[in-house]
Amino acid sequence: MRKLSKQNILLLLCFFLSFGGAYAQGLPDFTALVEENAPAVVNISTISHGKKNFHQFHGPQNIPPLPENNPFSDLFRRYFEDRPGQIPPEESESLGSGFIISTDGYVLTNHHVVDGADEVIVRLNNRKSYEAKVIGSDEGSDIALLKIDAEDLPAVKIGSSKDLKIGAWVLAIGSPFGFDATVTAGIVSAKGRSLPSENYVPYIQTDVAINPGNSGGPLFDLQGKVVGINSQIFSRSGGFMGLSFAVPIELAMHVVEQLREDGHVTRGYLGVLIQDVDRNLAESFGMSRPRGALVARVIKDSPAEKGGLQVGDIILAFNQQQLHDSSQLPPLVGATAVGEEAALEVLRNGEEISLRVRIDKLPAEDDQPQPEKPKAPEATESNKLGLVFSELATEERERLDLSADEGVRIKEVREGPAAAAGVKPGDIVLMVDGEKITGLPQLEKIIRDIPKGKTVALLLLKPQGPVFIALRTPEK
C-alpha cells in the first residue's frame, strides 16, 4: 500500500476543513429573523363557559403513559389526561398562537383556536394583555381575524407562498403547550396538499415541529416574511411526528379582506361532484396518463349545468391552471370571484374542448339526495361482469332525483371483476363506457358488446354519492 506523505496529509486535512466550513456556512442563521419578528407573534388564550372540543388534528390519540418522575408528566396530564376529548362543562381555557398583521391591532390566528370562545385574550411579547374582539372567523379556511385596542404595534411582513420551493427552509414561532415564543425550523415538504374534509385549502406541508398551542402562529421564509399560518398536524400521539400543515398566506389574506369588509367569507361555486382519475380510469377514457378532475355528477341549475359540463367530462384545466389531480379544483373554484367567468379545458369523448362557466356563490347548504335500499324487484341473470341487475321503481327514481328512465340497480355481485373493484349490491348503474343507462335491455346489450380484455368506466350511484370505477372484462 502506498503511504501518504506529510504534505499530502496536510493538503487533505485543509480540504476537509474548508469543505466542512463551507457546508456549515451554508446552513441558515435564524437569529436575526427571530429577533426582528418575535415581537409580532402573540399568545392567544380563550375562555369558554361550556364544553369545548379539541381540533381534530390536535387531539391526542393513545397517549403513552409517562413515568411518575418524568419532568413532563404534569404537563401532559394538564393538556391530555385531564382533558380527554372534552373539557368539563365549567369555565375552561385553551391556548394558541397568532401574529399581528397591522400596527393598529389586527391579529391573525386559526378559526379553531377561537371557535366557541366566550372571551379571547391576546398577550404580546412584552407581556401586555388585551381582550380581543373577533372580527370574523371562517371554518372553511380555518382563519380568524381579531382586533385589539392598541396602536404602534410591531407587525409582520406578508410574503408569498407561491415563491416557496420544495426543500426551502422555513421557521415557525408560536406557543406550543403554552411555552411562549418557541422557535422551530424545518423545510417545505410539499405544496398544495389536500387533507380529509378540507376542500378549500391547498396546504403547505413542512417538517417544522408543530405541537398543540402552535396553531395560528406564523410560518416564515428566510427573508423574514410570513408565507403561511401553522394550522394542523397529523399525529397518533397528539404531538409532532414530522407532518405539519400551514394555510398559504395568500389565501389567508384574501379571507382577511372579506372578514374585514363583510364579516364573513363568500366562495365561488361550480356545482359538480368530482373524483380523481386513477390509472384504470385513465385507460378507460383513452388518456395517456391520469390527470384532471372527473365529473361524477352535475348539480341541477348549477353554473356547471348552465355552462355545458356533463357527467363523464374530465376537467383538465381551470383558468389556465393545469389540474394534476381533483383536489386542486375546489380551492381554485372557491377563490374565484362570484360572477366571474371561468375558462375550463375539458376532455369529452376523447377530445379536448373549451367551456366558459360563470361562477356563482357557494350555497350555505347543498341538499343532496341520499340513495335508499330498494324492495328487491325482479332481477336478471348474472353477466360477464358478475352482476345481477334489477329495475328501479318510479317512486325510487323520484326519491333519488333521477330522470324517468335513468339507472339500473345492482341486486347481486358475484365473483368477477366488479366484486374485485368494490361494486356493492344496492349500487345504481348510471353510465357504462360513456353511455347513459336507460333500462335493463340496453344495459345488458352494452355489457354483451364489450370486447374481451377491455377496460371500461362505470358511473355508479353509491350511498355516499356518484363515483366512477374502472372494470376490465375477462380475457376469456
Range with lowest mean pLDDT among 102-111, 378-387, 400-409: 378-387
Decide if pLDDT at 366 tops 80: no
Q: How many Å apart are CA 318 and CA 316, to the nearest integer?
A: 7
Tell me, what's the pLDDT at 216?
95
Cα–Cα nearest to 333, from 391, 289, 293, 378: 293
Q: Which three cell numbers stand for residue 426?
A: 344496492
Q: Which three cell numbers stand for residue 291?
A: 390527470
Torsion sign across C-alpha atoms 333, 334, 336, 341: positive
Tell me, what's the pLDDT at 295?
95
pTM greater than the 0.75 cutoff: no
Same CATH fold, 387-472 and 32-62+74-262?
A: no
Phi, psi of 53 (to 5 degrees): -80, 150
Q: State the Cα torsion 64-67-71-72 to the nearest 10°.
A: 20
Q: Is 142 a catalytic residue?
A: yes
Torsion sign across C-alpha atoms 122, 126, 127, 128: negative
Tell me, what's the pLDDT at 27?
80
Tens-place pLDDT, residues 145-170: 999 999 999 999 999 999 899 999 99
Residue 54 DSSP one-character state: P
Q: How many Å apart are CA 30 and CA 183, to the nearest integer?
A: 9
Q: How many Å apart are CA 23 and CA 204, to the nearest integer?
A: 27
Q: In terms of CATH architecture, what is 32-62+74-262?
A: Beta Barrel (2.40)
Decide if pLDDT at 83 tops 50: no
Cα–Cα nearest to 290, from 301, 278, 302: 278
Classify each residue of 47-83 as buried b or exposed e, where b means 16 or more C-beta atoms within 10 Å of its C-beta: ebeeebebbebbebeebeeeeeeeeeeeebeebbeeb
Average pLDDT rounded to a whole number, residues 35-55: 81
Q: How many Å apart are CA 219 and CA 229, to the nearest integer?
A: 6
Q: How many Å apart are CA 279 and CA 386, to the nearest integer?
A: 22
The CA R_g of the chain, rounded to the nearest whole Å, is: 28
Of residues 419 and 246, the one with the higher pLDDT is 246
Catalytic, out of 55, 58, 111, 112: 112
Tens-place pLDDT, residues 171-212: 999 999 888 899 999 999 999 888 766 678 999 999 999 998
| Length in residues, the chain | 476
Catalytic, out of 92, 161, 215, 235: 215
User: Burial, 367: exposed, middle or buried (Cβ in 10 Å; 0-12, 13-18, 19+)?
Assistant: exposed
Q: How many Å apart are CA 464 and CA 471, to the nearest integer?
A: 20
Residue found under cell 411526528: 241
Q: How many Å apart are CA 131 and CA 149, to the nearest integer?
A: 8
User: Burial, 331: exposed, middle or buried (Cβ in 10 Å; 0-12, 13-18, 19+)?
Assistant: buried
Instruction: Pick one of 3.40.50.150, 2.30.42.10, 2.60.120.380, 3.30.310.40 as the CATH number of 268-361.
Output: 2.30.42.10
Q: How many Å apart are CA 268 and CA 289, to the nearest integer?
A: 29
**Domain residue ranges in the chain:** 32-62+74-262, 268-361, 387-472
pLDDT band at 218 (very low <50, low <70, confident <90, very high): very high
The residues with which 95 forms a beta bridge, in sequence order, are: 45
Q: Is 215 a catalytic residue?
A: yes
SS3 letters across 185-238:
EEEEEEEEECCCCCCCCCEEEECCCCCCCCCCCEEECCCCEEEEEEEEECCCCC
Instruction: Pick one of 2.30.42.10, 2.60.40.150, 3.90.120.10, 3.90.100.10 as the CATH number of 387-472.
Output: 2.30.42.10
